[in-house]
């Protein structure tokens, strides 16, 4: 434990959280080797301290050390920055240039935000890690380098691998020894200590009296989520140190500077492809749900339409025929193609004189031939309309010319 305390004093690390001390201890033990280290943790947790610890406690401490923010370098120049380029390799390459892996030979290179590397650059990096070889952009000459690589990211690399944004073989090559830096909300015992240290530093910097927290204000700070971690806590201490004239800080004062964190843990139903793909905005999720609802409504309309079409009666009847239609439940074939809608009105049979059994018997033995039914419908329409062909054609839903042709074809007198 004395070694860990000396490391914290040497590098200005504040806190007594067991998880923090565990991360420091792993960095101390792995420093003596050349093993590649992957540091993970949320943004603002202080991941940048650990590659310095590893370098300073290693045999490479007298060699060069360089930190590279992979997310801040444009994709078109990242290969040139890391591996160098030859003169004329691309537009603007007026002379040859050494890359970081060539300059830091014998030392340590810290690749921050390593998950932001393009896939082609990830292939080049994998070759350096496996064989120590690299090729400058625009060259065919293989060069060797002896570099210790320490990488860091705040991205969930398992999700990045599943979505195809990060190579799985590179992940296992980098993750030889993992170091997990705890978030500030996981170090509640260090929050007040860090806040007082920041307030003391800013009070000295701006020549102001130090701040003092009430007991309720201390509890209030511990209850916060701190999505920005130590960086957010430091910014809060600086704001209050400069703005507040009252040097005793209570809960009400802190509430003015702390914006409530949005709860992002609400359940959302996603497809497997969305879960693998990773990042969807709230608007995209809403659009997706709306489109799926619209599709379901359209499918429901289609099903209802099919049901209605399959159960619809081929023609409507007058009110006088309702009683008979309930008795006669025979299935009638559809009329000929040209008749899109057939409406036939005929005289209802004398129900008093004809018993129910006889009516049912007649319907069952009805001729099911399409031509016979077609002829029967036309004859009934002509009878109802007393031979007036124009009205009969209108009632049948066909043109008068078609009716003439059908009368001739079916030999209707």
Task: For the chain, give every domain's residue range.
Answer: 2-182, 185-257, 281-311, 319-409
Average pLDDT score over the chain = 82
Is the pLDDT at 168 greater than 90? The verdict is yes
Q: How confident is the model at residue 55 (pLDDT cuts 50, 70, 90)?
A: very high
Top-level CATH class of 185-257?
Answer: mainly alpha
Q: How confident is the model at residue 82 (pLDDT cuts 50, 70, 90)?
A: very high
CA-wise closest residue to 68 among 36, 100, 94, 43: 100
The predicted pLDDT at position 223 comes to 93
Is the pLDDT at 166 greater than 60? The verdict is yes
Share of the chain above pLDDT 90, in %: 58
Residue with tokens 């300059």: 103
The predicted pLDDT at position 281 comes to 54
Is the pLDDT at 362 greater than 80? The verdict is no
Q: Identify the residue with better confidence: 397 or 342.
A: 397
What would the pLDDT profile of 283-330 be if each residue is shown by its tens digit?
A: 667 767 777 787 777 877 777 777 776 655 444 444 444 444 444 444
Q: Identify the residue with better confidence: 179 or 383.
A: 179
Top-level CATH class of 2-182?
Answer: alpha beta
Q: Are 157 and 148 spatial neighbours (Cβ–Cβ below 8 Å)?
A: no
The predicted pLDDT at position 294 comes to 78
Give the separation between CA 244 and CA 256, rounded to whole angstroms: 11
The predicted pLDDT at position 369 comes to 56
Averaged pLDDT for residues 341-355: 46
Averaged pLDDT for residues 316-345: 44
What would the pLDDT profile of 230-254 be if each residue is shown by its tens digit?
A: 999 999 999 999 999 899 999 999 9
CA-wise closest residue to 179 among 42, 37, 69, 367: 37
What would the pLDDT profile of 176-234 be if each residue is shown by its tens digit?
A: 999 999 999 999 999 999 999 999 999 999 999 889 999 999 999 999 999 999 999 99
Cα distances (Å, whole numbers) of residue 72 to 78, 127, 158? 9, 23, 22
Q: Could you give the maximum distance between any two Cα atoms of the chain, in Å?
A: 119
Q: Identify the residue with better confidence: 326 or 120.
A: 120
Cα distances (Å, whole numbers) of residue 179 to 34, 53, 320, 354, 411? 15, 12, 88, 96, 96
């Amino acid at each position: 434990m004395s070694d860990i305390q000396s490391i914290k004093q040497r590098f200005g690390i504040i806190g007594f959280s067991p998880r923090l001390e565990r991360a420091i201890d792993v960095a101390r033990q792995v420093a003596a080797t050349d093993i590649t280290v992957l540091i993970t943790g949320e943004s603002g947790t202080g991941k940048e301290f650990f590659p310095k610890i590893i370098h300073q406690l290693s045999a490479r401490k007298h060699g060069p050390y360089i930190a590279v923010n992979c997310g801040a370098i444009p994709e078109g120049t990242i290969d040139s920055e890391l591996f160098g380029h030859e003169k004329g390799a691309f537009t603007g390459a007026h002379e040859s240039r050494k890359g970081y892996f060539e300059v830091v030979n014998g030392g340590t290179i810290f690749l921050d935000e390593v998950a932001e590397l393009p896939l082609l650059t990830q292939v080049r990096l994998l070759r350096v890690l496996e064989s120590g070889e690299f090729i400058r952009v625009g060259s065919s000459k293989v060069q060797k380098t002896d570099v210790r690589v320490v990488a860091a990211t705040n991205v969930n690399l398992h999700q990045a691998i599943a979505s195809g944004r990060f190579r799985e073989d590179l992940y296992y090559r980098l993750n030889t020894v993992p170091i997990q830096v705890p978030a500030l909300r996981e170090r509640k015992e260090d929050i007040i200590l860090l806040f007082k240290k920041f307030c003391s530093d800013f009070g000295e910097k701006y020549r102001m009296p130090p701040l003092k927290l009430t007991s309720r204000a201390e509890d209030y700070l511990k209850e916060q989520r701190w999505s920005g971690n130590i960086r957010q806590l430091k910014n809060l201490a600086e704001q209050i140190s400069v703005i507040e004239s009252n040097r005793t800080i209570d809960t009400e004062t802190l509430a003015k500077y702390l914006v409530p964190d949005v709860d992002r843990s609400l359940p959302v139903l996603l497809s497997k492809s969305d879960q693998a793909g990773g990042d969807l905005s709230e608007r995209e999720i809403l659009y997706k749900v709306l489109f799926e609802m619209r599709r379901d409504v359209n499918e429901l309309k289609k099903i209802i339409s099919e049901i209605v079409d399959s159960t619809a009666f081929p023609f409507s009847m007058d009110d006088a025929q309702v009683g008979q239609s309930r008795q006669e439940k025979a299935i009638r074939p559809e009329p000929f193609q040209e008749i899109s809608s057939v409406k036939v009105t005929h005289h209802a049979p004398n129900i008093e004189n004809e018993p129910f059994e006889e009516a049912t018997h007649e319907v069952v033995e009805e001729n099911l031939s399409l031509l016979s039914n077609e002829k029967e419908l036309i004859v009934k329409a002509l009878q109802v309309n007393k031979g007036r062909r124009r009205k009969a054609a209108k009632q049948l839903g066909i043109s008068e010319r078609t009716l003439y042709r059908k009368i001739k074809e079916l030999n209707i007198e």
